[in-house]
Amino acid sequence: MPISFDSALGIHQQALAVRAQRTELLASNIANEDTPGYKARDIDFKSTLKNINYQSTGSVSTTNTKHIQNEMGNVGADILYRVPNQSSLDGNTVDGQLEKSAFSENAIRYQASLTFLEGKFRGMLAALKGE
């Protein structure tokens, strides 16, 4: 009977992928803190995870050069725009403190997912070895 990794590892592998994509998005926000006209973006983590459970992710098939590939095609996350707290003359909506704290929290949760994943693998190894 083949081992189904999907059911053994649970939600953690998809959570890890979404966290990685979110890291990239937040890093881009922090890098563009001073760019005029740049709008800050983010992923809604909870709703993305819920949607992953109900459908298989995949990228849009493009058969014509004019077809637009969906953004971040491998996870299918919806990228939303942040609502700015303060208006700014140059059109930049990045709040430096907010982005930094979101980035730190995301990094810690990524490592938490990594730790859980490692724990699951160890459990499977222990079951295989019969200890």
Partner 1 sequence: MGLYNVFNISGSSMSAQSVRLNTVASNLANADVVSSTEKGVYRSRQPVFEAVMDALNGDGSGVTNHSTPSVRVAGVVENNAAARKEYQPEHPLANEKGYIFKSNVNSIEEMANMMAASRSYQNNVEVFNTTKQMLIKTLNMGR
- Binding segment (CB under 8 A) for partner 1, from list 4-12, 47-55, 96-104: 96-104
Task: Please report whether residue 31 would count as binding partner 1 according to CB under 8 A.
Answer: yes
Nearer to partner 1, 15 or 72 (CB): 72
- Window 36 to 55, contacts with partner 1 (CB under 8 A): 36-38, 41
**Nearest by Cα to 40 from 31, 49, 52, 48:** 31
Task: Please report whether residue 71 would count as binding partner 1 according to CB under 8 A.
Answer: yes
Task: Please report whether residue 101 would count as binding partner 1 according to CB under 8 A.
Answer: no
C-alpha–C-alpha distance, residues 3 and 24, integer Å: 32
- 3-state SS, residue 30: helix
**Nearest by Cα to 15 from 43, 41, 49:** 49
Shortest reach from residue 90's CB to partner 1, in Å: 10
Task: Please report whether residue 107 would count as binding partner 1 according to CB under 8 A.
Answer: yes
C-alpha distances out from residue 51 to 42, 54, 57, 101, Å: 16, 5, 9, 26
Shortest reach from residue 8's CB to partner 1, in Å: 14
